[in-house]
A and B are shown apart, each in its own frame.
Chain A
């Protein structure tokens, strides 16, 4: 190494000013401002926002545009799948049919026959409409009666004959009128002769396609026709784009009306009780010790109470009249009984976070408890909070459906998405649209809040702040 040369003042010169280094390259943002900025750019959050706006539009503006009465029972179009508007033939009001009876043929056979011939000349009498299908046939020698069946697929041999409509008693009765829930589709009527006691194994089948029809009084009641309109005319029936339910009520209109209750309960209730749970759990976890114990035991107490029993009690306590909708009391009840889940989760998280280094640091820097909780601890539990919020939405909707079912909540005929699901489950296989649409809407709502939650998580999570730069 060289010998150090002596350094003089002239060897040093001040470095140039570095003001620029202190210039901020971007504006200073607080935590929340930063979060908001990132939220705006987050794709998930944007999608969810559109969904929420669509739902709000559906709920508020929808009924103004689609004016069908959700309680109107269109009994000519029960459980109809989504379809274009149907035309129906106007028919006179129903008059009972005088079933043809044979004068020659005896009612009972003289002796019990070993075999019977199949029924012949099995046909419809008059036009088959959805009001009634009149069947007639020729008598069978030695028969003591006839059994009529109806199926929607062609029967295979003697097994799949379908619904047993009626067993006509008397070999001389030659007609039967079917009025059971007729729709404008193919039916296969089968007739089997009996000896008055047992059916014989010969069957005759015909195919009938009843024509969609509507009676004059029904048409007038629904405002589709006037008393001057004559039978035979073609009337356009009410249009149900999403189909109808088991009482012929328009599903779209019911979805709109149901949205009011379901969204209100499904959004407001979770927001409130999750909020409450967050603060409750946050304080419990932070304070720890005996206070934590006490608070958590109280939460356990609330969970262990028999739900149904207390709901009935609430219903009485809130003095909901018979047949009245008690949405507010239900809201209160839901909040009072569902907060412990969140509280426990948040408390668990807080217990973990409490011991982190930065908390200790913040406290040393002079932060008091509420500052620590609000500013440091709770934002770090956002992940858990948002998950519970997402799950709380369908949970609230279905709890509301259950409560309405047992008489607390919305009274019939007011629908809610959850109760529409309940009703739709029963006809899940035969009329899936009754379940599909309310479930779809619930899914959309859950999806919207889930995406919002995801977006919020990404925006609010302090650790992830540094990643999107």
Chain B
């Protein structure tokens, strides 16, 4: 088991290195000058800036320097926020996104498994149709619509109560996290519902279910002990990478709810061609993602003992 995990970790590290390299090359290949701004500056000033950030050296040399720094865990200073270290940016803002993301995933997973199981149980009857309708609505409408609607709902709730019951935006307490994480998790919830449903429907026809019924197990027991556990594999497959994606990518939600998370840095860094932040956030996300994928693989073994990853 240990050797197995180590082997995977090694391949993970290799993958992260590939990600870093590919991003580095792409970043330098894209036209645009990270040091140029709306107000034009003289070539001399630009030269100075370039020297300060090491951009005047040939690209291979920059790459080696970057690799060296990365191995020491130093991603340098941001170009746009000139006094902040990229490490500090990640360290300050990732926990916020992570907290939001974890709550969102909890909602999504709980909701997805619940609704999915319900639709499978009441297949083709009213609850199934209603839930499926909501799922379709949920994925056909873009996420920023839900964010805007969610916030407006909060405003209306507060107005109806006459006092501020729930915060409309901002960060700082559990109450601040409720609506944003709900909105953030909606898409995943819809996906998980659907996956759970199809998975449950498949499982319900398996022979061992019939055997269990024949044996006389209560339907509740069959549901929880057999059906759920066997159907949950696709959900786990999706959850792993989704955790990585949601905890780092809630850009729209962070914007609408004024949450100081990492999501906006991902997007803004590319728009501003902030090289150091791009590299820092990409490597971080890549490492996180690969880690989640490896964990999912390990979990497979626990859920379904038949799965043996040679």
Q: Mark B293-310, 1 if CB is under 8 A from A, else 0.
A: 100000010001011111
User: For the complex, is A219 an interface residue (Cβ under 8 Å from B)?
Assistant: no
Q: How far is the CB of A219 from chain B (nearest CB, A)?
A: 37
> Out of A294, A306, A418, A425, which one reaches B278, CB within 8 Å?
A306
Contact between A301 and B142, CB atoms less than 8 A apart: no
Which residues of A (380-406) have their CB < 8 Å from a CB of B? 380, 383-384, 386-387, 390-391, 394-395, 398, 401
Chain B nearest Cβ from A348, distance in angstroms: 4
Residues on B with C-beta less than 8 A from A422 are: 142
Given contacts A306-B270, A384-B234, A391-B139, contact A301 B309 (CB under 8 A): no
Which residue of B11, B241, B270, B306 contacts A309 across the interface (Cβ within 8 Å)? B270
Verify A305–B300 contact, CB threshold 8 A.
Answer: no
B202 and A345: CB pair below 8 A?
no
Taking a contact as CB atoms closer than 8 A, the residue among A288, A300, A313 that contacts B15 in the complex is A300
Q: When the two chains form the complex, which single residue of B202, B236, B293 contacts A461, counting CB atoms closer than 8 Å?
A: B202
A425 contacts B237, C-beta separation under 8 Å: no
How far apart are the CA atoms of A447 and B134 in the complex, in Å?
Answer: 11
| In the complex with contacts A300-B290, A351-B300, A446-B140, A386-B198 CB distance below 8 A | yes
Interface flags for A259-302 (1: CB within 8 Å of B; 0: not) read: 00000000000000000000000000000110011101110110
Number of A-B contacts (CB under 8 A): 164
Report A456 CB to chain B, min CB distance, Å. Answer: 11
A457 in contact with B205 (CB, 8 Å):
no
B98-143 with Cβ < 8 A to chain A: 132, 136-137, 139-142
Tell me which residues across on chain A come within 8 A of B238, comparing CB atoms.
341, 344-345
- A355-391 interface mask toward B, CB cutoff 8 Å, 1 = contact, 0 = none? 1100000000000000000000000100110110011
Once A300-B15, A352-B306 are accepted as A-B contacts, the answer to whether A384 and B22 lie under 8 Å apart by CB is: no
- In B138-175, the 8 Å CB interface with A consists of 139-142, 144-145, 148-149, 152
Q: Which residues of A contact B26 (CB under 8 A)?
A: 305-306, 309-310, 313
- Could you say which of A66-74, A318-326, A435-443 contacts chain B? A435-443
CB atoms of A355 and B233 under 8 A apart: no
Chain B proximity of A41: nearest CB distance (Å): 15
Q: Which residues of B are found within 8 Å of A172, using beta-carbon distances?
A: none
Residue in A closest to B204 when the chains form the complex, CB atoms: A463
Asked if A421 meets B310 with Cβ closer than 8 Å, knowing A304-B282, A348-B233, A464-B205, the reply is no
Evaluate contact between B241 and A313: CB separation under 8 angstroms: no
Q: Which residue from chain A places its CB closest to the CB of B283 in the assembled complex? A: A304
**Interface presence of B189 (CB below 8 A):** no
Q: Does A349 contact B (CB under 8 A)?
A: yes
For B234, the chain A residues whose CB sits under 8 A away are: 345, 348-349, 384, 387
B36 contacts chain A at the CB level, 8 A cutoff = no
A158 sits at the interface (CB 8 A): no
Measured CA separation A356–B202 after assembly (Å)? 14
Near B by CB (< 8 A), chain A positions 417-448 give 418, 421-422, 425, 428-429, 435, 439, 442-443, 445-447
Interface segment out of the listed B27-35, B71-79, B81-89: B27-35
* Chain B contact residue count (CB 8 A cutoff): 63
| Size of A's binding interface in residues, CB under 8 A | 60
Contacts A304-B286, A345-B238; A425 near B144 (Cβ below 8 A): yes
Q: CB distance A443 to B202 under 8 Å? A: no
Contact in complex: B14, A309 (CB < 8 Å): no
A313:B11 contact, CB within 8 angstroms: no
Cβ-closest chain B residue relative to A422: B142
- Contact A355 to B307, CB < 8 A, known contacts A422-B142, A425-B142: yes
Evaluate contact between B285 and A304: CB separation under 8 angstroms: yes
Shortest CB-to-CB span from B239 to chain A, Å, is 11
Contacts of B145 in A (CB 8 A): 421, 425, 428, 435, 439
CB atoms of B18 and A301 under 8 A apart: yes
Cβ contacts under 8 Å, A293 to chain B: 7-8, 11
Look across to chain B and name the residue whose beta carbon is closest to the beta carbon of A426. Answer: B148
Tell me, yes or no, whether A53 is within 8 Å of chain B by CB. no
Does residue B195 face the partner (Cβ distance < 8 Å to A)? Answer: yes
Query: Lowest 7 A-B CB distances belong to which pairs?
Result: A463-B205, A304-B286, A383-B198, A348-B237, A443-B140, A355-B306, A289-B310
Q: Residues of B with Cβ closer than 8 Å to A?
A: 7-8, 11-12, 14-16, 18-19, 22-23, 26-27, 29-31, 132, 136-137, 139-142, 144-145, 148-149, 152, 190-191, 194-195, 198-199, 201-202, 205-206, 233-234, 236-238, 241, 266-267, 270-271, 278, 281-282, 285-286, 289-290, 293, 300, 304, 306-310
